[in-house]
Amino acid sequence: MSEAALDALAIRARAGDREALEALVRGLQDTLFRLARRFLGHPEDARDATQEILILIVTKLSTFRGESSISTWAYRVACRHLLRARATYRRLTFEQLVDEDLAKAPNAIGAEALESAEARLLEEEVFLGCTQAMLQALDRPLRIAFVLGGICELESADAAYALGITEAAFRKRLSRARAALDAFVSKHCGVANPANPCRCAFQVNHNVALGRLNPRGLRHAKPTERTSLEALQALGEIRAARRSLELYRAQPAFTSPEDLAARVRSMIAIGRGSRIFDA
């Protein structure tokens, strides 16, 4: 949905249009889920956080003054909430990732795993999980800056507004985040630089053994004609100046696993009375 369409829905919703409010929530939920998914790491954490953010947007909509687009304002509400949120995703430092997870010796994916999922999807699951773990290795202020500017591709002015900081401060955080990720992947990631020994396929058995990868229920990878890992492998070595950006921008745009608008409406009606949606 376009920014103009969302802004029009916000105006109608503020005036008491119930259908416009519900459509606005639906129009924002995937954008906010992608932000939460990247920042928190775990799909269930992201779903819960997105639901909480949408409730905040509904209950605070009367404070929206139109000084930005409704999407940018929603990002601001979301960032404030996410920076305070607790997450269950395992968080390792870059050093721990190297010591515990990367560059396993060449090995064939186990037959039992291949009975449940294609090798290409198992590799994709490792790739998406590993790059998510890299994000979690960043401190929260750098991580949210990279997700906003590097993955969601917000303009500096909008991202700075969402975070409540100056554009200069945002650009500095984004630069530091990119530098940290670029340095790590250029030295260790075999997708970013084929000269590195690490291969996603060689990590599958390791992740299955640790319980991080369930071949019967993949958390990240979805059946597609071409996975993001296959697309990146076809490129060969990624230009050093864009390594971290390319790794994340090639990945699927995660969408909300369910229609949260109906759940939000139900929770608002139960907890606060139905007047917010039914005004």
pLDDT digits (tens, 9 = 90+) for 158-201: 999 999 999 999 999 999 999 999 999 999 999 999 899 999 99
Q: Which two tokens stand for residue 108?
A: 């064939």
The per-residue pLDDT of the chain, averaged, comes to 90
Angle ∠(141,200,202) on CA atoms, nearest 5: 135
pLDDT digits (tens, 9 = 90+) for 18-43: 889 999 999 999 999 999 999 999 88
Contact 236, 194 (CB under 8 A): yes
Q: In this model, does residue 271 exceed pLDDT 90?
A: no
pLDDT digits (tens, 9 = 90+) for 159-171: 999 999 999 999 9
pLDDT recorded at residue 279:
40
Rounded to an integer, what distance in angstroms lies between the CA atom of residue 47 and that of residue 198?
31
Three-state SS string over the chain comes to CCHHHHHHHHHHHHCCCHHHHHHHHHHHHHHHHHHHHHHHCCHHHHHHHHHHHHHHHHHHHHHCCCCCCHHHHHHHHHHHHHCCCCCCCCCCCHHHHHHHCCCCCCCCCCHHHHHHCCHHHHHHHHHHHHHHHHHHHCCHHHHHHHHHHHHCCCCHHHHHHHHCCCHHHHHHHHHHHHHHHHHHHHHHCCCCCCCCCCCHHHHHHHHHHCCCCCCCCCCCCCCCCCCHHHHHHHHCCCCHHHHHHHHHHCCCCCCCCCCHHHHHHHHHHHHHCCHHHHC
Q: In this model, does residue 274 exceed pLDDT 50?
A: no
Residue 112: pLDDT band (50, 70, 90) is: very high
Rounded to an integer, what distance in angstroms lies between the CA atom of residue 72 and that of residue 130?
29
pLDDT recorded at residue 136:
94
Rounded to an integer, what distance in angstroms lies between the CA atom of residue 9 and that of residue 6?
5
Q: Which two tokens stand for residue 207?
A: 């992740």
For the residues 252-264, what does the mean pLDDT come to?
Answer: 82
Q: Percentage of the chain surpassing pLDDT 70?
A: 94
What are the φ/ψ torsions at residue 155 (nearest 5 degrees)? -65, 155
For the residues 51-67, what does the mean pLDDT come to?
Answer: 91
Rounded to an integer, what distance in angstroms lies between the CA atom of residue 253 and that of residue 218?
16
**Nearest by Cα to 6 from 85, 86, 58, 69:** 69
Residue type, 262: A
pLDDT higher at 91 or 3: 3
pLDDT recorded at residue 210:
92
Q: In this model, does residue 143 exceed pLDDT 60?
A: yes
Q: In this model, does residue 276 exceed pLDDT 50?
A: no
Domains, the chain, in order of start with CATH, read: 3-278 (1.20.140.160)
pLDDT recorded at residue 275:
47
For the residues 233-239, what does the mean pLDDT come to?
Answer: 79
Residue type, 218: L
Predicted TM-score (pTM) of the model is 0.90
Residue 1: pLDDT band (50, 70, 90) is: confident
Q: Range with the lowest mean pLDDT among 106-115, 122-131, 155-164, 269-278? A: 269-278
pLDDT recorded at residue 259:
79
Q: In this model, does residue 245 exceed pLDDT 70?
A: yes
CA 84 remoteness from chain centre: 16
